């Protein structure tokens, strides 16, 4: 009898367990575990990567300035100068040496000042009309300091100084002409867009992590640029996850109209009715052998009702449409607290209401193609500055937003930040599924099986990721790099594939089944327990926050942004996290006091709940982009703050951040 066997795989954060089960004898034949080091966290990798790139780009700017200086016969090496601030101050008034000009330009291109990007936290120096060198020289004379200060100067102010210096020095060195000045300023101003990634379209600057990975990428870019000068190749398109069913399609944003339509259908197709006789409008219901469910007309009627009524009471809705009581309805999805949790186009309606409540044009919202484009930009961009630039540069976007409308989009980004993520399916598959779900009145899992949605993916994997050893097909590891984004998941899956392929070669035949056990996230046991505990705590304080908002400000004020504010307010007992002065909850809800990042977001890249707190207006103004220690220690307030913080019931991570 030909042997039949099953491979069991258990995926972990730093190990893969495996066993081979003989289907004929019902026995485990052999087993083992492969151990390896787990990857750094995504945040750690991002900080390390960002630091490396920032240093490299600074070096590149300095080298480019030195190259331009060498072309006109100036010194092309930097010398250390303890009197640099005095030389900068002198350079806008009188002649200085060539070496001094080299030193100044290289120092300033390394410390070129703040260039606005998204919602970074930065406190800008008020120069009162002075050039930066004048401001810092006065500061140096009065305090003895002018470096490593928390406040930053704008890049444009530093450029004013460079222009003034080159204008004055060109009287003594004609080589410092307007053409040279223009080249230097270009180096000062250049800043990589968030969607570009590392590298560039120059052959020697191709990067596997940037938008130009191959010479073909460069050729495509230059060809399209010659036809359409505004054409850009956005790297973010490559970073969006791939659809589980249509492998070559990108996942749609979670707020995409069709994603909401898909979720709506899944929820309402799954409900049924106890008693058909209790339903007045029976034309909206069909009956099979097991149950009574909504038909296509019923689903359309409920969708239309939801989209045309601003506030929905689900009990009233079933009475109005079907003429039945809520007690007759089975399968309504509810939260742990028993509240209605059915998908009812909440995001689409929220965005439309944001514009209607301010008497702004909603024509672009009614045009689903344009609406989905805006949602795609809101989801991928880090802030409204980038959204604005991307929309304005899109030749296929037909609606022109004014400043007020862009401000509303900015509010949406802030209020719905945690929801601006991606669905598991592409827009193409969502639209296909919607049509099939309406046609057959079956939920997605049912139509997926009935119509074999996965056939394309199976064929794709079979044709693209199979290698042969003799007559045995093995799994190719390259699919991991093509499809998987997470370095930790890649690491674990590579080990799993090695094990599976080795077992197939040993057995000289394919397994009947490969059974895989994996955590939802590849976390260690202790980490999982810690996460679950924190989630339970968060859920409890979230419920308390909702009650506070409802009792104090009314149900209309319950939204994600306000819930987070009250959660933060409650955990610090209504006092400033830093100086311990009482904070007024009204000022928190109405935006007078804003949420504060504990570790500056521009440095930590951390926008999570554990990096947020509330501070009084004074502390918020003076803390700027400092850490709590850097802010409080010079004032002698740190020890008292540390003691008080440890007495609060905060998560371990938030306590560590504070």
DSSP letter at 547?
H
Tokens coding 38? 């787990």
Q: Percentage of residues in the chain with pLDDT exceeding 90?
A: 48
DSSP letter at 284?
G
d(CA 616, CA 621): 9
Alpha helix positions (H), 508-580: 525-553, 560-571
For 114, 215, 493, 650, the CA distances from 69, given in Å and listed in that order, are 24, 31, 51, 55
d(CA 276, CA 274): 7
For 573, 621, 640, the CA distances from 615, given in Å and listed in that order, are 12, 9, 16
Q: Where would I find the beta strands (DSSP E) of 556-611? A: 595-597
Question: Across-strand partners of 22?
Answer: 5, 27
d(CA 621, CA 637): 17
d(CA 267, CA 28): 42
310 Cα distance to chain centroid: 30
Q: Which residues of the chain have pLDDT under 50?
A: none
Neighbours of 306 (CB within 10 A): 20
Q: What residues have CB less than 8 Å from 507, skipping those under 6 apart?
A: 3, 5, 20
Tokens coding 163? 């222009």
List pLDDT tens digits, range 586-600. 988 888 888 889 988
pLDDT for residue 149:
61
Count of helices and strands (H, E) across the chain: 29, 12
pLDDT for residue 485:
65
d(CA 276, CA 285): 8
For 37, 516, 536, the CA distances from 529, given in Å and listed in that order, are 20, 21, 11
pLDDT for residue 207:
76
H or E, element range at 432: helix 427-440
d(CA 510, CA 251): 32
Residue whose C-alpha is closest to residue 649's, from 566, 541, 571: 571
Give just the sign of the alpha carbon dihedral 548, 549, 551, 552: positive
List pLDDT tens digits, range 319-334. 999 999 999 999 998 8
List pLDDT tens digits, range 456-507. 888 888 888 888 888 888 888 887 877 776 777 888 999 999 999 999 999 9
| SS3 (DSSP) at 414 | helix
H or E, element range at 47: helix 42-71
The radius of gyration of the chain from alpha carbons, rounded to an integer in Å, stands at 30
């Amino acid at each position: 009898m030909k042997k039949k066997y099953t491979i069991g795989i258990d995926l972990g954060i730093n190990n893969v367990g495996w066993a081979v089960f003989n289907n004929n004898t019902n026995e485990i034949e052999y087993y083992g575990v492969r151990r390896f080091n787990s990857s750094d966290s995504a945040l750690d990798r991002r900080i390390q990567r960002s630091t490396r790139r920032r240093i490299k780009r600074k070096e590149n700017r300095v080298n480019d300035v030195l190259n331009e200086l060498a072309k006109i016969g100036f010194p092309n090496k930097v010398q250390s100068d303890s009197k640099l601030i005095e030389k900068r101050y002198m350079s806008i008034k009188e002649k200085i040496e060539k070496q001094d000009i080299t030193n100044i330009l290289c120092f300033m291109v390394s410390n070129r000042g703040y260039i606005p990007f998204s919602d970074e936290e930065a406190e800008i120096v008020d120069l009162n009309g002075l050039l930066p060198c004048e401001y810092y020289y006065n500061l140096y004379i009065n305090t003895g300091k002018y470096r490593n200060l928390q406040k930053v100067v704008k890049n444009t102010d530093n450029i004013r100084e460079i222009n003034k210096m080159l204008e004055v020095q060109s009287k003594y060195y004609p080589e410092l002409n307007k053409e040279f000045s223009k080249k230097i300023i270009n180096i000062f101003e250049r800043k990589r867009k968030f969607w570009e990634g590392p590298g560039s379209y120059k052959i020697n600057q191709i990067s596997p992590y940037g938008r130009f990975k191959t010479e073909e990428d460069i050729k495509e870019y230059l060809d399209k640029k010659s036809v359409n000068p505004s054409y850009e190749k956005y790297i973010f398109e490559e970073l969006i996850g791939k659809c589980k069913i249509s492998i070559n399609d990108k996942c749609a944003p979670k707020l995409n109209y069709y994603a909401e339509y898909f979720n709506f259908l899944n929820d309402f197709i799954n409900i049924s009715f106890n008693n058909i006789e209790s339903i007045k409008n029976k034309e909206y219901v069909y009956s099979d052998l097991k149950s009574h469910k909504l038909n296509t007309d019923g689903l359309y009627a409920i969708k239309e009702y939801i989209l045309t009524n601003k506030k929905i009471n689900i009990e009233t809705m079933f009475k109005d449409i079907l003429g039945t009581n809520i007690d007759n309805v089975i399968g309504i999805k509810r939260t742990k607290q028993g509240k209605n949790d059915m998908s009812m186009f909440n995001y689409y309606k929220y965005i439309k209401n944001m514009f209607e409540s301010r008497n702004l044009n909603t024509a672009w919202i009614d045009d689903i193609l344009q609406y989905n484009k805006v949602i795609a930009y809101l989801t991928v961009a880090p802030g409204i500055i980038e959204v604005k630039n991307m929309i304005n540069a899109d030749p296929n976007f037909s609606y022109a937003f004014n400043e007020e409308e862009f401000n509303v989009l900015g509010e949406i980004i802030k209020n719905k930040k945690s929801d601006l993520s991606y669905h598991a399916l592409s827009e193409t598959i969502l639209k296909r599924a919607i049509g099939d779900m309406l046609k057959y009145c079956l939920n997605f899992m049912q139509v997926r099986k009935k119509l074999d949605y996965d056939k394309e993916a199976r064929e794709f994997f079979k044709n693209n990721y199979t290698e042969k050893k003799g007559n045995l097909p093995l799994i190719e590891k390259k699919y991991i790099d093509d499809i998987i984004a997470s370095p930790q998941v890649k690491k674990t899956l590579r080990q799993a594939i090695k094990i599976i392929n080795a077992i197939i070669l040993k057995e000289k035949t394919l397994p009947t089944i490969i059974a895989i056990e994996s955590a939802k996230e590849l976390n260690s046991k202790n980490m999982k327990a810690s996460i679950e505990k924190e989630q339970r705590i968060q859920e409890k304080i979230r419920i308390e926050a909702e009650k506070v908002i409802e009792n104090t400000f009314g149900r209309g004020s319950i939204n994600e942004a306000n819930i987070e504010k009250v959660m933060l307010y409650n955990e610090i007992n209504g006092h400033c996290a830093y100086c311990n002065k009482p904070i007024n909850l009204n000022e928190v809800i109405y935006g007078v006091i804003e949420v504060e990042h504990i570790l500056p977001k521009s440095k930590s890249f951390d926008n999570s709940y554990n990096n947020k707190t509330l501070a009084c207006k004074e502390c918020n103004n003076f803390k700027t982009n400092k850490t709590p220690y850097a802010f409080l220690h010079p004032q002698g307030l740190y020890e008292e703050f540390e003691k008080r913080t440890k007495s609060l019931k905060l998560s371990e991570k938030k306590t560590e951040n504070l």
